[in-house]
């Protein structure tokens, strides 16, 4: 291992083990905002998968149709 990599690992571990104090405030709406982002992200992934599934399915159905016409 290189010395730079070891140094970075040691620094990362120190930052993880000894975190600094964060004086922050999360209001009650933050939870619902996070939930909305998660649900929206899942729906977006589902929409993209559905779109590509239809394209892939139509690609293979065209090949099956062309084989059926070639056999005639």
Across 1-72, the runs of DSSP E, i.e. the strands, are none
Verdict on whether the full-model pTM lies above 0.85: no
Task: Identify which has the larger pLDDT, 58 or 67.
Answer: 58
- The tally of CA atoms less than 13 A away on the side-chain side of residue 22 is 5
Per DSSP, 28 falls in state T
Query: Which pLDDT tens digit goes with each residue over 42-58?
Result: 999 999 998 888 888 88
Query: Which pLDDT tens digit goes with each residue over 12-26?
Result: 998 888 777 777 787
Residue position matching structure tokens 């992200």: 41
Among 38, 35, 33, 31, CA closest to 46:
38
Break the chain into its structural domains and give their ranges: 44-72
């Amino acid at each position: 291992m290189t010395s730079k990599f070891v140094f970075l690992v040691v620094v990362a571990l120190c930052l993880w083990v000894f975190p600094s104090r964060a004086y922050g405030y999360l209001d009650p709406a933050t939870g619902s905002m996070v939930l909305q982002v998660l649900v929206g992200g899942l729906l977006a992934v589902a929409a993209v998968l559905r779109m590509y599934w239809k394209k892939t399915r139509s690609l293979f159905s065209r090949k099956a149709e062309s084989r059926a016409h070639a056999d005639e």
